[in-house]
Amino acid sequence: MKRPLGTKAKTGEDCPESGVWKVVGSPSTTAPISRGNRMPPYNGQAVNWELIQYA
> What single-letter DSSP state applies at residue 15?
P
User: Residue 20: its pLDDT value, please?
Assistant: 98
**Residue 49 maps to a domain:** yes
> What single-letter DSSP state applies at residue 26?
S
Q: Residues 33-47: what's their mean pLDDT?
A: 98
**Residue 48 maps to a domain:** yes
**Residue 21 maps to a domain:** yes
Q: Residues 17-45: what's their mean pLDDT?
A: 97
Look up the domain containing 43 and give its range: 8-54
Q: Residues 2-14: what's their mean pLDDT?
A: 98
Domain count across the chain: 1
11-30 pLDDT, tens per residue?
999 999 999 999 999 999 99
Residue 4 pLDDT > 90, yes or no?
yes
**Residue 43 maps to a domain:** yes
- Amino acid type, 34: S
Per-residue confidence band for 1, with pLDDT thresholds at 50, 70 and 90:
confident
**Residue 23 maps to a domain:** yes
**Residue 1 maps to a domain:** no
Find, among 42, 41, 34, 43, the residue nearest to 15 by Cα. Answer: 34
